[in-house]
């Protein structure tokens, strides 16, 4: 019996990706780490989450970044290579900052915008999941400001049930979500939020089997964290190879 050829491509937010795995925003922080992804087998290149100003708060180290004005030129540089689509991850302390960042990175050539609503700093400032009106306003205004699709990266837990979150995001025009690759994230969102979303599962990806399992549970694509940090950009070629070797 010959091995069945597996289609490893996917489409997210109308953007065709040659491979259904990409880096997570936190897995490649600097330009030095991001540039090698251009010639890797990653489906997209996701930038480190950017804020309007340089961010070095000691209590929120996961959001440390040099500020959007240092990352916008990097988007242009990566897009100009003709490599994988570039995704800009953004976070703000207000709706106005999300709107500004979404518009700015879209104009620089990002294929879509990942609005990071999962970082603890966002919960402490914008608090988008404490009130349905707050999430609706943030989602609508950010989506309206960007001429490219906007994705919402969701936190591990939300005060609002996923059914409500899904309805609010759908009404705002957001059709892509990034959720944790576990039962409380991926599986629960797919079960409760309703149809119409391209779901990206982040974390827990170490093999081609892990990718296939996430896709089988309803994800359109996955984001790789620790495996990329440990193995480098070559991890994407390995994951693709393992998927293509799978037998039907």
- The Cα–Cα gap between 124 and 213 comes to 34
Closest CA to 66 of 79, 48, 78, 80: 48
pLDDT in tens, 86-145: 999 999 999 999 999 999 999 999 999 999 999 999 999 999 999 999 999 999 999 999
- The Cα–Cα gap between 105 and 242 comes to 34
pLDDT higher than 50, residue 248: no
- The Cα–Cα gap between 234 and 134 comes to 41
Mean pLDDT, to the nearest integer, of 195-221?
97
Closest CA to 73 of 31, 22, 14: 31
% of the chain beyond a pLDDT of 70: 97
- The Cα–Cα gap between 194 and 48 comes to 29
Mean pLDDT, to the nearest integer, of 172-181?
97
Cβ-contact 114, 71 below 8 angstroms: no
Every domain of the chain and the residues it spans: 10-242
pLDDT in tens, 61-89: 889 999 999 999 999 999 999 999 999 99
Query: Which CATH number describes the domain made up of 10-242?
Result: 3.20.20.70
pTM, to two decimals: 0.95
Please classify residue 104 by burial: count the beta carbons closer than 10 Å to its beta carbon, then call 0-12 exposed, 13-18 middle and 19+ buried: buried
């Amino acid at each position: 019996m010959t091995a069945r050829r597996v289609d490893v491509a996917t489409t997210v937010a109308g953007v065709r990706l040659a491979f259904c795995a990409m880096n997570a925003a936190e897995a490649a922080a600097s330009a030095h780490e991001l540039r090698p992804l251009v010639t890797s087998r990653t489906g997209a290149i996701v930038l480190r989450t950017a804020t309007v100003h340089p961010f070095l708060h000691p209590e929120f180290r996961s959001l440390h970044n040099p500020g959007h004005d240092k990352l916008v030129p990097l988007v242009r540089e990566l897009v100009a290579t003709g490599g994988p689509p570039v995704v800009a991850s953004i976070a703000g302390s207000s709706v106005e900052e999300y709107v500004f960042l979404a518009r700015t990175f879209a104009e620089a050539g990002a294929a879509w915008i990942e609005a990071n609503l999962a970082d603890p700093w966002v919960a402490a400032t914008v608090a988008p999941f404490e009130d349905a009106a707050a999430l609706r306003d943030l989602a609508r205004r950010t989506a309206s400001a960007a001429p490219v699709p906007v994705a919402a990266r969701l936190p591990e837990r939300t005060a609002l049930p996923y059914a409500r979150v899904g309805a609010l995001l759908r009404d705002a025009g957001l059709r892509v979500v990034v959720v944790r690759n576990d039962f409380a994230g991926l599986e629960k969102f797919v079960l409760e939020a309703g149809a119409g979303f391209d779901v990206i599962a982040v974390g827990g990806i170490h093999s081609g089997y892990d990718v296939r399992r996430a896709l089988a549970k309803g994800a359109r694509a996955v984001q790789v964290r620790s495996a990329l940090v440990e193995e480098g950009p070559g991890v994407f070629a390995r994951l693709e190879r393992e998927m293509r070797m799978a037998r039907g």
